[in-house]
Chain A
Amino acid sequence: DTGVSQNPRHKITKRGQNVTFRCDPISEHNRLYWYRQTLGQGPEFLTYFQNEAQLEKSRLLSDRFSAERPKGSFSTLEIQRTEQGDSAMYLCASSLRIGTSNEQFFGPGTRLTVL
């Protein structure tokens, strides 16, 4: 499978615990994005990497959230001291920008439930 993969697919945790998600982008893609989607809403942008550099962060990304892409390949998203409001689907996407085209390919997501 050459698409974007994410692990785990589901995570249930208790409030206050830390969680970490992993995303493996399409291999030749240099851009990687994290989005969050709650029920009845479209995905909302969280952050993006070009290679290993984190170039943009949304105001949605509080200081409890941190993302890394240490070698410019896979990425991790960590949420510290989880809150019930963090419950959502966390989607990773990757792209290879060519000209003005920015088609992003999404992974299956990690569904987080904070009890």
Chain B
Amino acid sequence: RKEVEQDPGPFNVPEGATVAFNCTYSNSASQSFFWYRQDCRKEPKLLMSVYSSGNEDGRFTAQLNRASQYISLLIRDSKLSDSATYLCVVNTFGNEKLTFGTGTRLTIIP
């Protein structure tokens, strides 16, 4: 079983729609959680950290459920520029590496 699992998609969503991605992680010692965005043939860039209380940044909302070891990302009012691969990432305290999921590919359709 992979440490971080995501639905690879692709998700093809009309502009303006709301889209949600889910991710599960297997290591209960995981402490830090992130969503990274990666455009085609570019490096990953941090989209947002994910906190236990949930957090929102504009049209993006991230939530964490530690009991279920589940992370989600919600994108509201999707824009064409949201088209990218979204990577779910976890980190364990005391361990420096980031563990990435395979990514979920999103395409926003005009």
Interface residues on A, range: 20 to 34
- Given contacts A41-B102, A100-B31, A100-B32, whether A106 and B43 have CB atoms under 8 Å apart is yes
CA distance A31 to B95 in the complex (A): 12
What distance in Å separates the Cβ of B73 from its nearest Cβ neighbour in chain A? 15
Interface of chain A residues 53 through 98 with chain B (CB within 8 A): 55-56, 58, 91, 93, 97
- Beyond A56-B96, A91-B43, is A103–B101 a contact (Cβ under 8 Å)? no
Closest chain-A Cβ to B105's Cβ sits at a distance in Å of 9
How far apart sit A40 and B46, CA to CA, in the bound complex (Å)?
A: 19
B46 CB → nearest A CB, Å: 6
Given contacts A41-B102, A42-B87, contact A33 B97 (CB under 8 A): yes
Q: Nearest chain B CB to A58's CB is how many angstroms away?
A: 8
A106-B45 in contact (CB<8A): yes
Asked if A43 and B31 sit within 8 Å, CB to CB, the answer is: no
Q: Is A43 within 8 A of B42, CB to CB?
A: no
* Chain A contact residues, CB within 8 Å of chain B: 31, 33, 35, 40-45, 48, 50, 55-56, 58, 91, 93, 97, 100-109
Given contacts A56-B95, A102-B98, 12 further A-B contacts (CB under 8 A): A33-B97, A33-B98, A41-B102, A48-B96, A91-B43, A93-B98, A97-B96, A101-B32, A101-B49, A102-B91, A104-B46, A104-B98
Q: 13 A-B Cβ contacts within 8 A?
A: A35-B98, A40-B8, A40-B102, A41-B103, A42-B4, A42-B89, A42-B102, A42-B103, A43-B87, A50-B96, A100-B31, A101-B32, A106-B45
